A and B are shown apart, each in its own frame.
Chain A
Amino acid sequence: MNSQSDPTGFNKFLRTLEPNASSVDDGFLRCRTKLVKFFFWRRCDDPDNLADETTTRLLNKVQAGQEISGDNPYRYVFGIAKNVFLEYLKAKKKSGIPTDIDELRDEPALQSTETCSSLCLAQLSAEKREFLEEYYLDDIDRELFARNKGLTINAIRLQVFRCREMLKHCMENCLRRFNSARN
């Protein structure tokens, strides 16, 4: 492979990286999400940027004809990500950027957040709403809550996670509509 853009090479690599992905784009998204979490869990202040940096370097490497061998292609990705992290730490030390973020950039308006939150909550089934109410408002130990519901603790966590994902997805759409309406 040469250094010119070679999407087929990268696509092929993505398919190797994420064999369960439904498409190349899905595969890329999965890979990027993992990298974002990698940097977030390492307490980086801008995980999105660092993930993008990693995927860019990966793409460049693949397109440059870098042979990625081995049974675990993510080891290669992991290696790149670690390098990016180390460089980030070095730059942070040098510049003295505080790691504590007090304010969110581009935080949506309170009113739109509240409205969207209520709307999205209303879209959940009554059963799910009641479940979330009990989980968040009833001040009960997670283990006891699980026992009362006749479920395992992880089953409870999973249900909460899925409800949150649905709400997050709904909120994103709702806020986008709000913003476009405002603009």
Chain B
Amino acid sequence: MDPNQETAELMTRFLLGQLSDEERKVVEERFLTDDEYFAQLLVMEDSLVDDYVLGRLTGDQLKNAEVLFRSSAIGKREVKFTQNLVASLKKAREAKEQGAKQKTKRALVTNQIVSPKTSPWRQSQASMNLIASGFRSLPAVFSATLGLIILLLAGVAIYFIFQYQRQNRELLAQRVELERNFQDVREKLNQESQNSAELNKRLDLETEKRTQAEEALARSHNSGSPSIMSVVLLPTIFQRSGGAKTVTLNTGTNRLQLLLEISSANYPAYNVRIKTFDGQTIWSRDSIPASQIKQSKLSLILNSSLFPYNDYRIELLGQPDNGTGQLIADYAFKVRK
């Protein structure tokens, strides 16, 4: 049975003798016949004993409870039982707390055990103490002098440390400065090489423009009868032999286009010398840019009047950036009119 608040209060008032005769009769008849109601009254009675023993009752409640629990041996037994129970519980708790304290204390004692003599820390400390006591036993003057010397040494050491740190700082500053300079120089070099590349590009462009201009000029001169003869020449072992190509120039041919076959264009620029087999240089040009090589052929458009009836050889030299030209190939052709 789980009584509501009203029932619980009614039961408490009944136990404390605070009900009217009629109310009391109702409760008494009920608990005699209703086992659950009776059981609940016993529970409430126990609570009342607890409140009485623990000093939670005041005023009329306390007075009435005292009358109840002092009225008979039963009541007194209930109070005594509760008092003994409280005392036993207190004792048990104290014993528990005491046991816990002793455990902690034991732990502390364990921690306070001095470490054995073999502890290195203690050994070094003992040594220091020995040294200190040794110093203490020396004469005062000696101690003073020794003290002064130690101070002096300490001062010198501090000075050297200071100097070292200063030098270190200076070196660091120099290093930073050097690095900065190096950075500047590198940047300048980069700039220079960029400029040089730019210049080379412009030079190539100008050369190409010049070649185009020459061609245009040639074309304009021969505007009545623009006549050009192209001939492709392959590298050869130059001989005035039948291997050389024969170019037959007509009277109307104004220009001769020589297309020199170049197997690998590895040079940035080329030099060309056109000579007779007698060694006479008919025409030459240096620093022809590699960009002028199209489809592995270097084109040279020249005035046909340069080439009278004869045999000719062409020397092609590769021009590296630094150094002299390297002979790459020879070509030969004959002009017949």
Answer whether A and B are interacting partners.
yes
Closest beta carbon of chain A to B51's beta carbon, Å:
8
Whether A59 sits at the interface, judged by CB under 8 Å, is no
B214 at the interface (CB under 8 A from A): no
Q: A74-B29, A78-B29, A160-B46 known; A105 and B15 CB under 8 Å?
A: no
Set of chain A residues within 8 Å of B74, measured between Cβ atoms: 36, 40, 47-48
Q: Mark A78-101, 1 if CB is under 8 A from B, else 0.
A: 100000000000000000000111
From the candidates B45, B67, B87, name the one contacting A117 in the complex (CB within 8 A): B87
A101 touches B72 (CB 8 A): yes
Question: Which residues of the other chain, A, contact B35 by a CB distance below 8 angstroms?
Answer: 20, 30
Known: A34-B38, A37-B41, A41-B14. A133 touches B77 (CB 8 A): no
Q: How far is the CB of A116 from chain B (nearest CB, A)?
A: 9
Interface mask (B54-87 → A, CB under 8 Å = 1, otherwise 0) = 1000000000000110111111110011101111
**Which residues of A114-173 have CB atoms within 8 Å of chain B's CB atoms?**
114, 117-118, 121, 129, 132-133, 135-137, 139, 142, 152-155, 157-158, 160-161, 164, 167-168, 171
Question: Does B71 lie within 8 Å of A78, measured CB to CB?
Answer: no
Contacts known (A20-B35, A101-B71, A167-B85); A121 close to B92, Cβ less than 8 A: yes
**Quick one: which of A36, A38, A45, A155 contacts B71, CB cutoff 8 A?**
A45
CB proximity of B99 to chain A, nearest CB, Å: 14
Any B CB within 8 A of the CB of A181: no
The distance from the CB of B130 to the nearest CB of chain A, in whole angstroms, is 58
Q: Which residue of B lies closest to A48 (CB)?
A: B74
Please, which residue of chain B has its CB at the minimum distance from the CB of A110?
A: B84
Within the complex, what minimum Cβ distance (angstroms) separates A160 from chain B?
Answer: 6
CB distance from A153 to the nearest CB of B (A): 8
User: By the criterion CB–CB under 8 Å, are B80 and A137 in contact?
Assistant: no
Q: A34 contacts which chain B residues (CB < 8 A)?
A: 31-32, 38
- A104 interface residue (CB < 8 Å to B): yes
Known: A118-B91, A133-B92, A154-B3. A75 touches B86 (CB 8 A): no
Residues of chain B within 8 A (CB-CB) of A44 are: 71-72
Does A118 contact B77, Cβ atoms closer than 8 Å? no
Please report the total number of B residues contacting A with Cβ < 8 Å. 45
B32 touches A117 (CB 8 A): no
Q: Kindly state whether residue B128 has any CB partner on chain A within 8 Å.
A: no
Q: Is the CB of A158 within 8 A of B87?
A: no
Tell yes or no: B43 within 8 A of A by CB: yes
Contact of B86 among A36, A41, A129, A137 (CB under 8 A): A137
User: How far apart sit A154 and B93, CA to CA, in the bound complex (Å)?
Assistant: 26
Instruction: Check: A43 CB closer than 8 A to any chain B CB.
Output: yes
A99 to B76, CA, bound (A): 12
- With both beta carbons as reference points, the residue of chain B lying nearest to A38 in the complex is identified as B28
Q: In the complex, what residues of B have CB within 8 A of residue A168's CB?
A: 81
Q: Which residues of B contact A58 (CB under 8 A)?
A: none
CB distance from A170 to the nearest CB of B (A): 11
In the complex the two chains form, what is the Cα distance from A115 to B33 in whole Å? Answer: 39
B123 proximal to A (CB < 8 A):
no
Which A residues touch B86, using CB under 8 A? 136-137
Residues of A whose CB lies within 8 Å of any CB of B are 20, 30, 34, 36-38, 40-41, 43-48, 72, 74-75, 77-78, 99-102, 104-105, 107, 113-114, 117-118, 121, 129, 132-133, 135-137, 139, 142, 152-155, 157-158, 160-161, 164, 167-168, 171
